[in-house]
Every structure is written in structure tokens, then in C-alpha cells.
Amino acid sequence: MQRPLLEIVELVTTFSTPNGPVDALHRISFSIGEGKTVGVVGESGSGKSVTSLSTMRLIPDPPGKITHGAINYHDRAGNTVDLATLDEGSMRHYRGNEIAMIFQEPMTSLNPVMTCGRQVMEALMLHKQLDRSSAYSQTLALFTKVELPVPDQMMERFPHQLSGGQKQRVMIAMAMACNPRLLIADEPTTALDVTVQKHILQLMKQLQTENGMGILFITHDLGVVAELADEVVVMYKGNIVESGQVMNVFKNPTHPYTKSLLACRPPADKRLQYLPTVNDFMNAASTGEQVNPPIITASERKTAHEKLYSGNKLMEVRDLNTWYPSKKTFLGKTREYFKAVNGVSFDVYEGETIGLVGESGCGKSTLGRTLLRLTKPTSGEILYKGRDILTLSEKEFLPYRKKMQLIFQDPYSSLNPGLTVGQAIAEPMLVHGIGGSKKEREEKVKYLLRRVGLLPEHFNRYPHQFSGGQRQRIVIARALAVEPEFIVCDESVSALDVSVQAQVLNLLNELKAEFKFTSIFISHDLGVVKYMSDRMLVMQKGIIEEQGDPDQIYKTPKSPYTARLIASIPTLEPVR
């Protein structure tokens, strides 16, 4: 019997806290074979990332420490080493060279003062001892392989000049640069649209076949696990509650937590009034009840839309253009533009949710920011309740800032690391004069924290003390704090695992019904957009390719581009 590439045996990782030591992992054990992929799924805070960081020995000590168990790795030389006991110098030999990692948040993992090309070249020169010219050629080839647009230009760009999906592709190129034997991927396709995700998954499979590479794949997308993984490990509160072959676990789940993860995704064949959550299944398991959310019928949806679209328009967008100079003459005159938003026109009705989908770099985030006047357009009109907000001075526009809010794509970079989350959520309330006293604002902040699935005691913690999914919930709470009329949700649930995603989507729908706000929901996840939207806009290269009822677009897309997006969505049917 072939020995596994990696064996995690009875692993315990403990963190010191003011209330005493807390075990984040409870004697977990599993293995990864050469050329095999193990998918690890579970809620934010379940121990998925702690498992990957423990394996890479990147848990900061203090406060974290491996207190029990072994991480046995079988290296290229045929030796078996316990990574848990290696000193930092010895561990550095394995990191990057034999074991590589793709991190969840690319913006915080890339050096902001180095070009993207230089960062990948540095890894090649360090681990493979390549000269600068060879490292440049290999990096350019990697950028081409991970489908970065205009790879030679991307070599010279800094991280802040790339979209979220493009930054993630740079990270993937860097991780794969040295042909590692073990690749640890922590939410590697979170920021990618479905077509590029499909390509990246195929690329990982190809490299796995070529190099016999093992993959530890951490994700909240069970469809991706079904498509890529051989085995799945389901984690809940630091424990492995279920594991086995992907097909066996997904077809015949035994633990209520696994059942909940499979049911939390919006179904493609029906429209539910609300998405089931983990708590629903855990409570049902104790009472023996079934979890069956009511269905919204086609006639109910038609009646609601007739009422919605007979109402008032909140926003009218007319021939909107947001162009950026891409090529200039020697004298600095622009001779070519990148047309991020190119002649876009549409209306937004009061109380409507418009879904905006498209590949990374198609212009959807630029359009969202332009509507809020966070990005200056080249030309066009944005009429908000009949008034063109593009003609207003910054002082005149200030009252609109309260009415129009943005939930950011990258939660970590949008939160001030020097403020507690309570201060961050309360700050816009103070600016706009909401709440009669500091105590009133504090109570509202704690209420919002509870509404987005966090705890009131999180008020005094800092952003770095939360997981990626928890930080996303914090920025949602901050946007809701000023009770806006219009919200642009820019990939606002992309970092959340499916169970927390279901909670947040339910929350947004509840708050929409309660406060009657209007929203534009931007995402690369067509399933989520279909569930959330009254109307869907599909963007490609700065233009609206197709628009209409999401259910109709899903069933019979008119554009080949839309059909390709839908065909790229991973399903829960394991692919072999």
C-alpha cells in the first residue's frame, strides 16, 4: 500500500486567551495521498484555516501553538519528517519549495510595493536558483497559464491596480511556480468568476497529473469540492464530524451538519422563501423534524413584480461611461482607453434588487462604484429620484452619502486596523448624526452584530482577530448602520461559507423587507444572484450583454456568453 504524502495525526492546536487556553482543533486526523485531493469544508471558524496554517507552521506563537499530535510529511528525498516539530530554519526549506499555499485574501498576501511579476520572480530565483531573465520568462508563462489578461502588462502592475480575481490568479501563479508536491489552497477560487474558476480547477488537475501533486483544498463551495476532490473532510467547531469519498458523503450524508451544508445553497430548480441554515438542521436533528422551507410560486413572484415595476424609479442610468487611459503618447496624450463601463443604460425601481454578474474585469465593480460617485465617470447621467447626482458638488452630494452605501468586496482592506469593530460600525453613525448618545449607538451596533451572526462581545475586538468570513459580516453591519435607501453589495458574500452565506442572504432579504431599501447585488456566483435578484444584468467588457428575469435567463440564455457562464457553474455531481 502506497504511503500517504501527508498524515495529520491527532492534531491539537491551542490558542491562549484572556479566559484561558482554547483548543481550535480537537485531535483531528486525516491523510492526503500523492496525486490526490482532499477537500475540507465547514463554517467560518470551524478550524479549516487553522488546519492549513498549522500544516504550514504559520500559526503565530503566541497566541497559537501545536500542543499535541503529528504532521508527518514524506519529502522528495524519501524522508518522513514531522512538520510539527521542525525549527523555523528547517521549515523554511519545505515552504514554497515542496509545500506551497494559496491564501484566502490576496490583497493582504501580496507585497503592495512590489510589482506582481517581481513577486513571482523572487520565488523562482530563491527556490529554483534561476537568473533574472529565466525567472521573467517562467513568470510570464505562468501568468499566461492562469489566464491573466495581457500578461506582459500584468508583470509590471502593482497589486492595487488589479481586480480581486486578478490578484488571486497572481497568488495561484506564485504558489505553483516551484511545482510543489503538496499544494494547500485556502479558498483559492473565492474571488474568481465561474469561467476562470473552471479554468483554474482544470489547471490544478493538470499540474496534479503532471507532478503527482497532493492538494489540500479548503473551500465553502461544495460544488468545487465535488468537481475537484477525491475525498472530503467536514469540520465543525474544530472536530471532523464526517469524512470519506466525495460521492459517498454528498449522496448519503449521515451528520446533520453535513446535510445542512448541502442544503444551504440556493437550489437551481425552485425558489425558496428563505435558505435553510445550520441551526435549522441541528435543531431538527434533536426534535426529529424535517427542514422544508416554503417555496415561492411563479404566480406569487409575478404578482410581486407587477407591483414592484408599477412603482417609482429610484435611479435612472443613461449612457454611462467610465474609461481609463491605457496607452499614451510620448508627450502624455491619451491615444487609447480601457472602457471599463461603456455606454451602460438601465433603470432601478424602488425596492428592487438588481443582480449584476460577469467575469472578473468585466466592469461590474467599476459600475457599482461609479453609481455611488466613488469613481468618476467619463460621461453620462445618473438620476437619483430625478436629480442628476453627477452635477452636484461634493458638499451638495454629502446628504446622499448616507442614503447610498457600499458593502466592499475585500473586508480586510476596508476596515481600519486601529479601530475595534464596534468603533468601525459606529463611526458612520456618528458622522451622519444617527443615535442620540454614545450608549444608543453602542446598543445599535451590538444589535447589528447579532443580526449578521456575530456576538455583542465582538464589539471590542480588532479586525485581525476575525476570520475572513466574519470580517465580511462586519462590513455588512457597518453599511446597514446608517439605514440607507440604496446599497451596492460588491461580492458581499463571496468570502462566506455556504451556511453563513445563507444566514447573510436571509438577513439581507429580511432587512430589505423591513427597511424597503433598494440594492444592486454584484457577484460572480450566478446561483446566489439568481436567488437574490428581481432582475439580472449580465456584463461583458464594459457593456450589458443581457438583462431580464433571472429564472428565464438561467433556463434560456440569449447570449452565448451567458450560456458559457451558466455552464461553468460547479454542481454537486462529482466529476471524474
Three-class SS of residue 11? strand
* Helix H or strand E segment including 346: strand 334-349
Q: What is the pLDDT of residues 139-189, one digit of tens each?
A: 999 999 888 889 999 999 999 888 767 888 898 888 888 888 999 998 887
Distance separating alpha carbons of residues 195 and 561, to the nearest angstrom: 10
CA distance 462 to 172: 28
Measured from the Cβ of residue 379, the count of other Cβ atoms closer than 10 Å reads 12
**Percent of the chain at pLDDT exceeding 70:** 98
Average pLDDT over the chain reads 89
Q: What is the pLDDT of residues 513-560, one digit of tens each?
A: 887 899 999 987 888 899 999 999 999 999 999 999 999 998 999 999
Residue 19 has pLDDT above 90, yes or no: no
Q: Which CATH architecture has domain 300-310+349-377+389-567?
A: 3-Layer(aba) Sandwich (3.40)
Residues 421 and 463 sit within 8 Å (Cβ to Cβ): yes
Reduced 3-state DSSP string for 101-154? EECCCHHHHCCCCCCHHHHHHHHHHHHCCCCHHHHHHHHHHHHHHCCCCCHHHH
How many other C-beta atoms can be found within 10 angstroms of the C-beta atom of residue 284?
Answer: 17
Look up residue 452 and give its amino acid: V
CA–CA separation, 550 vs 357, rounded Å? 11
pLDDT score of 375: 94
Specify the pLDDT at position 318: 97
Instruction: Encode burial over 9-38: b for 16+ CB neighbours within 10 A, e otherwise.
Output: bebbbbbeeeeeeeebbbebebbbbbbbbb
The residue extents of the domains of the chain are: 1-96+182-189+211-263, 300-310+349-377+389-567
Q: Is the peptide bond before 62 cis (omega within 30 degrees of 0)?
A: yes
Class of 1-96+182-189+211-263 in CATH: alpha beta
The answer to whether 1-96+182-189+211-263 and 300-310+349-377+389-567 have equal CATH topology is yes
